[in-house]
Structures are given as C-alpha cells and as structure tokens.
A and B are shown apart, each in its own frame.
Chain A
C-alpha cells in the first residue's frame, strides 16, 4: 500500500487558523456587542446579538474547514487511484 503523503504545512496552518479564528470570533462578538450596549445605552441587547453572531461565525468557520478537509481528502484519493 502506498504511503499517504501529508501536506503538513497546510495541516499546521489549518489547525492554528481554526483554533484562533473560533476563539477570536466569539470574543469579538461579545466585546463588540458590549461596546455597542455601552454606546447606545441598551441593556445587553447587542451583547446577546454579538455573542450569537460570534458563535454562528465560529460554527461557520469550523464547517468550512471540515468541508475543505473533506474535499482535499477526496482529491487525494482520486489522485492516488489515478496513479
């Protein structure tokens, strides 16, 4: 069986990217919402919206990375079959 060649720079980039983007998007949503609440004197409205937006963005990022990985592994399999 042919040894599967890993694209380690891409795997490393994806891992770091996923970890930081997920955390940063949630943090940005919460902090941005809190800042808007203070600015417009609205009680928690923007914090809740920001938190939900942040969580949704984190979910979207994770979903996209998962799909990227699925597509690249399918492509790798196709290439292996061709070889």
Chain B
C-alpha cells in the first residue's frame, strides 16, 4: 500500500524515532553501494584490474563530464563526489522497485516514490548550492539576489525557491506515478503488459537519476559562475 510519505506503522523504534520500511530500504541501498565501493577499493593496484579498473574509468569519465558541465575544474572535482552519490543513490532506489518479488512485501515502495526522500535530496542540493556560492564568492554572493537591480529581488528569490521545488516534485512525481501505473497494470492485466511497462521503467528510472544529477550540477555551476 502506498502511504504517500506518511508512516504506516513503524517496524521498530530507535529511541523516540520510529523506523519504517522506507528507512530500512535506504539503509540497505547505502550498504549495497558501500559494499561495492569497498570491494572495488580494498586491494588497490598501480595497474588497475577488474572492478577497480571499471571504477577508475567511471570516475575519470565523471570528472570529465562535470568539468565540461560546470566549466571550472576545481568546482567539478569538489562537487563530483556528492553529485555521483546522488546519481548512485537515486538510480539504485528507483530500480529497487523493480526487484522481482518486491511488490509482494507489504507496504514496500522505492524510497524515491516517497516525498520525504526526494524533498531531503532536493534540500541537500539547495543548501549545497548556497554553500558553493558563498565559498566561491564570499559575501559578494549575496549581490546576485539584487542583480541587476534591487527591483529583481522577488524574481531572484522565486527562482531560487523554484530550483529545489522542481527537483523534489519531478523525481517524486515520476517514480510515484510509475509505481502506481505498474501496480494498477499488475492488478488489471497481470501478464505481458506489466513486463512492457517495466522495460519502460528501467529507462525512466535511469533518466530521472541523470536529470536530478545534471540539474544539481547546473545549479551549483550557476552559483559558482562568473555572473555572480
């Protein structure tokens, strides 16, 4: 059952904090990503092989990609780990809904189909953008809110709020909608049709992860750019 972000009953409590299945799923995803990263880096060689080789190639490609996107190499190197983490976490979360048998677990849903998760990710981006702007331009960063004229303050503030809001709603809406459609299809036409939709979901899940990461990088690049 979809709870639309509300707790539908905690699995257990840590002190006063209730822990539900969405939090547990996120822990499993974090542990999974951590395990793969540990396996890739536990025996580092000067001439990389196997998993280390694949990861090194991926990291080089990632740095290159973010450098092209953000124009400044030092900014790209500084924020690439965070952006890559966003990408990995979102893509694994999105795909977790497609694991065979996941639908049979009562109350299960991918973390990104819950607005608490996507809002948290969007807020992390929003705070990072402001930190990036201040660390690059110092107090002068505040000037962009009244640029080119103090009359533009409401528009600039609205634009600043728009960024995390669009990140949060797009990811949540897409994954939640996709899960709902899949659930309805499985109920109405249990064979063949859901398989086609699941194929589409594989693509959609990857696209949403890419879009979130690229937009976050773009917002950081704008905050650290020459225009400010």
Which A residues contact B (CB, under 8 angstroms)?
7-10, 12-14, 16-17, 20-21, 23-25, 28-29, 53-54, 56-57, 60-61
User: Closest CB of chain B to A79's CB: distance in Å?
Assistant: 13
Is B65 in contact with A54, judged by CB distance below 8 angstroms? no
Is A61 in contact with B159, judged by CB distance below 8 angstroms? yes
Which residues of B sit under 8 angstroms from A61, Cβ to Cβ? 159
A-B complex: 9 closest residue pairs judged by Cβ atoms: A24-B166, A9-B69, A13-B218, A20-B166, A24-B162, A25-B162, A9-B68, A57-B158, A57-B155
Pick the contact of A10: B68, B154, B219 (CB < 8 A): B68
Is A60 in contact with B163, judged by CB distance below 8 angstroms? no
Chain A residue nearest to B161 in the complex (CB): A28
Which B residues contact A (CB, under 8 angstroms)?
65-66, 68-69, 71, 152, 154-155, 158-159, 161-163, 165-166, 169-170, 211, 214-215, 217-219, 221
Is B154 in contact with A53, judged by CB distance below 8 angstroms? yes
- Majority-rule SS of B interface residues: helix
Given A16-B218, A21-B162, A61-B159, 10 other A-B contacts at CB below 8 A? A7-B68, A9-B69, A13-B69, A17-B215, A20-B215, A23-B166, A24-B169, A53-B155, A53-B158, A57-B162
Which residues of A sit under 8 angstroms from B69, Cβ to Cβ? 9-10, 13
Is A21 in contact with B163, judged by CB distance below 8 angstroms? yes
Interface centre among B154, B158, B166, B169 (most CB of A within 10 A): B158
User: Closest CB of chain B to A81's CB: distance in Å?
Assistant: 20
Is A16 in contact with B162, judged by CB distance below 8 angstroms? no
Pick the contact of B158: A9, A10, A16, A25 (CB < 8 A): A25
Complex: A16 Cα to B166 Cα, angstroms: 11
Is B165 in contact with A28, judged by CB distance below 8 angstroms? yes
Complex: A10 Cα to B159 Cα, angstroms: 20
Chain A residue nearest to B69 in the complex (CB): A9
Complex: A57 Cα to B169 Cα, angstroms: 19
